[in-house]
Chain A
Amino acid sequence: MAYVAFKGGARAIAGAAAATECLRTEQGLTDPAADPLTIDALLNQLRLLVDRVVSEGGVYHPGFAALAIKQSQGDTLEAAFALRAWRSTRPRLAETPALDTSRMRLIRRISSAFKDIPGGQMLGPTRDYALRLLRLELMDESPEAFRSVARQWLKGCPKAQIPDSFPKVLDHLRSEGLLPALDAQARAKAFDITREPLIFPVPRSAALATMSRGETGSLLLLAYSSIRGYGDVHPTLAELRVGYLPVLLPHPVTGELSEVGEVLVTECEIVAMYQAGEGRDALPRFTVGYGACFGHNENKAINMAVLDRALQKGMQDGASFPAEDQEFVLLHVDGVDSMGFTSHWKLPHYVTFQSTLDRLRTTRQKMGAAS
């Protein structure tokens, strides 16, 4: 009688891992000069890929993000997942105070609200205005040419004095009284989503933290739905800034705040439709949305700011659309959760399927017998 052997799973798994590793390295079969990808090459030449993974991984470790990209062969969901799993093994040893983003060492900052802003518009590195034409000359780039480009560019750069920090556009609007007051209480104690479960409704800081390490595409989908018609956030980018943010930690002995390093961050502040002020005599004020994440991820920061605005509206008036619904948004934007659950359907489901077959057969039998 035929039967299925209970043994063999371990060998099959090892074989699958070896086959995957073979694909990672098979260039060596045909190209005697094939080199493995170096972590440095990934960090530098695929910087935006690394930044995406750092951001979704929720831990600022570009080197491990690059390693995760390398071992996952470019799958961003997998790479962010590996980084997140590594993060699980690290204890939380200290907590920074709320960091002041006006102190960012900027590589780029723009405002679409004003033609000019204090400190000036600074385009920095962006492809926003580039023609998306394939650059065929890069198909076979010579190492010599590659190595000279940055050097040449820097040679031609004037040594301009760039100030250490720039004023925030929102501060200007706030001083005019056009924005809601800052919530001092929320700034004092942020919700730590890595240490506390979400029990709905959750404070805004929990929503921001969840979106900050959310999956880029998921945030894009939901934010787009809101600005396109399933919602009515029509954002004006008060400011989008990218740069290096100094990280402050209390000294372990003295408690004095000291700078321990800096992290590359993208931050976006949007201004949206004004609403009545609080209290009977209060004048209407703009509403705002905030987005910030590790790395250079402009689209993600903008979408997060749009969703922050949509979620605040939902909390205030009740959700009319998916993007305004806290539970819906926050429980579906995490890439590690969503891709994990989607992948799990590939696991064996023999037992549950057997059980379902039993239900269908019994139902058919009974209904057949009755008719």
Chain B
Amino acid sequence: MSQAPGKPAADIYNFGFLDEYAKKEVRRAILKAIAIPGYQVPYASREMPMGRGYGTGGLQLTLSLVGPGEVVKVIDQGSDDSVNAVSMREFIEMTCPGTTTTTVTAEASLIQSRHRIPELPLTSEQVLVLQVPYSDPLVEIEAYEAKRKTMHGEGDYSRLLVKLYEDIVKFDEITISNRYPTRINGHYVIDPSPIPRWDVPKLNQSQALILFGAGREKKIYAVPPHTPTEPLAFSDVPFRVEDFRQADGSRRPCARCGARDSFLDEFISDSGATVHQCSDSDWCQARLEGSEA
């Protein structure tokens, strides 16, 4: 691919773009986040050369963690070639010489993702970094950060539960589709980033370290490996993931690879038909290649 116009040469920037003091601060915040699972650690988030809201928090985590030899995978909406993933990956390649990038989930040592957790179960050798727009699940019911901080400290999630209850009264369903509030290690409730409910169970007792970075809101939090996590629900209204059943009750397959065990994106084809396809491009591709082999 030709060099896009206006791109600066890599060598005018430090390895990982950020200066070393900034990376050190991020690493210290990561350690604290791991020590207190689910606690939002404030940090002096730096401006990155991409928009606040484009994953600057996740990117600062990644840039502070990668070293030479790292194998990085970047995902947006499940796909390595979606626009946000492409610009992130190019930036990492430009500013972190010595690291390699991959699209294959199993090969990656560090995965930065927006809105998805890969379908392939992650291992203890891997770190997952999720990009976070809203770092606090309580923002839905309390605008003031100072008050929310107290509520978290006291484990006071009653108003959040009331919101879920009101949903059931009004709509007979909990209406939260993504960013589903999830309790970590029996105390803090986190906003797990805009992953679909489909991905929420993957947080529980994860083999991999999962880190969350909110650049604009200037917070870092973590779900360490082997940590119990539990989406908020009621004993008589259980948590439910997205329903991909067809009218006849059977599980809808991916139109491309035929998978019946993955999160599907639906879109409207040129002919006007609704098509369902794997959101996780690596999962889909691996199945296709596997079936060809």
**CB closest chain-B residue, reference A71:** B6
Complex interface residues of chain A between 60 and 93 (CB less than 8 A to chain B): 71, 81-82, 84-92
Cβ distance B16 to chain A, nearest Cβ, rounded Å: 10
CB-nearest residue of chain B to A356 = B177
Do A89 and B13 touch across chains, with their CB atoms under 8 A apart? yes
Chain B residues with CB below 8 A from A71, complex form: 6
Q: Is A199 an interface residue (CB 8 A)?
A: yes
Q: A336–B49 Cα gap in the complex (Å)? A: 10
Q: Which of A1, A2, A90, A201 contacts B146 (CB 8 A)?
A: A201
Q: In the complex the two chains form, what is the Cα distance from A95 to B75 in whole Å?
A: 40
- Listed in ascending order, the chain A residues whose CB lies under 8 Å from chain B are 1-4, 6-14, 17-18, 21, 71, 81-82, 84-92, 193-201, 327, 331, 336-337, 339-345, 347-352, 354-359, 362-363, 366-367, 370
A358 touches B242 (CB 8 A): yes
Pairs across A and B, CB under 8 Å, 21 listed: A6-B79, A6-B81, A6-B285, A9-B82, A10-B86, A10-B90, A11-B1, A14-B4, A21-B6, A84-B47, A90-B19, A339-B51, A341-B51, A350-B77, A352-B177, A354-B266, A355-B196, A355-B197, A358-B177, A362-B243, A370-B172
State the CA gap A90–B116 with chains docked (Å).
33
Given the known inter-chain contacts A352-B178, A358-B177, please indicate yes or no for A200 contacting B146, CB distance below 8 A: yes
Which residue, A331, A344, A356, has most C-beta atoms of chain B within 10 A? A344
Contacts of B45 in A (CB 8 A): 197
Closest 6 CB pairs of A and B: A340-B52, A344-B53, A340-B51, A197-B42, A355-B177, A88-B46
Assembly CA distance A189 to B21 (angstroms)? 20
Given contacts A21-B6, A356-B178, A366-B172, contact A12 B1 (CB under 8 A): no
How many interface residues does chain B have, given as a range?
A: 35 or more
Q: Is B56 in contact with A340, judged by CB distance below 8 angstroms?
A: yes
Q: Which of A2, A3, A87, A201 contacts B47 (CB 8 A)?
A: A87
Q: Are A2 and B273 in contact (CB under 8 A)?
A: yes
For A9, what are the chain B residues with a Cβ–Cβ distance below 8 Å? 79, 81-83, 85-86
Say how far A73's CB is from chain B's closest CB, in angstroms.
11
Task: Please encode chain B, from 1 to 23, with 1 for each CB lying within 8 Å of some chain A CB and 0 for all others.
Answer: 11011100000011001111110
Q: Is the CB of B47 within 8 A of A336?
A: yes
Binary CB contact string for chain B from 210 to 246 against chain A (1 if under 8 A, 0 otherwise): 0000001010000000000000000000000011000
Task: From the candidates B18, B54, B265, name the one contacting A344 in the complex (CB within 8 A).
Answer: B54
CA gap between A86 and B19 in the complex, in Å: 11
B85 / chain A contacts, CB cutoff of 8 Å: 9
Task: Give the contacting residue for A355; candidates B4, B51, B242; CB below 8 A.
Answer: B242
7 additional contacts, CB 8 Å, given A89-B17, A355-B198? Answer: A6-B80, A9-B79, A88-B18, A91-B21, A194-B44, A336-B52, A351-B263
**Are A81 and B86 also in contact (CB < 8 A) when A344-B54, A359-B175 are?**
no
Q: Are B178 and A347 in contact (CB under 8 A)?
A: no
Given contacts A89-B13, A89-B14, A336-B47, A354 and B196 within 8 Å (CB-CB): yes
Pick from B158-166, B201-209, B275-283 the stretch touching chain A: B275-283
Q: Is the CB of A10 within 8 A of B1?
A: yes
Q: Which applies to chain B's interface (DSSP): helix, strand, loop or mixed?
A: loop
B194 within 8 A of A: yes
How distant is the Cα of A366 from the Cα of B173 in the complex, in angstroms?
8
Do B52 and A347 have beta carbons less than 8 Å apart?
A: no
CA distance A21 to B22 in the complex (A): 32
Asked if B178 and A10 make an inter-chain contact with CB atoms under 8 angstroms apart, the answer reads no
Please provide the chain B residues from 50 to 109 with a CB less than 8 Å away from any CB of chain A in the complex. 51-54, 56, 76-87, 90
* Cβ 8 A contact of B52, one of A13, A337, A363: A337
Distance between Cα atoms of A11 and B82 in the complex (Å): 11
Q: Which residue of A lies closest to B52 (CB)?
A: A340
B291 an interface residue at 8 Å Cβ cutoff? no
Chain A residue numbers with a CB within 8 Å of B43 are 197
Residue on A nearest B256 in the bound complex, by CB = A3
- Is there an interface contact between B194 and A351, defined as CB atoms closer than 8 Å? yes
Contact between chains at B22 and A88 (CB < 8 Å): yes
Write out the residue numbers on chain A whose beta carbons fall within 8 Å of the beta carbon of B178: 351-352, 355-356
- The interface residues of chain A lying within 8 Å CB-to-CB of B265 are 350-351, 354
* A39 CA to B206 CA, complexed, in Å: 53
Please state if A195 and B44 are interface contacts (CB–CB under 8 Å): yes
Question: Which residues of chain B are within 8 angstroms of A358 by Cβ–Cβ distance?
Answer: 177, 242-243
C-alpha spacing A363/B177, complex, angstroms: 11
Instruction: Tell me if B255 is interfacial: C-beta within 8 Å of chain A.
Output: yes
Contact A8 B52, beta carbon cutoff 8 Å: no
- Complex Cα gap A195–B173 (Å): 44
Could you tell me the distance between the alpha carbons of A193 and B177 in the complex, rounded to whole angstroms? 35
How near does chain A come to B289, taking the closest CB pair, in angstroms?
Answer: 13
Give the residues in chain A near B149, CB-CB below 8 Å.
Answer: 199
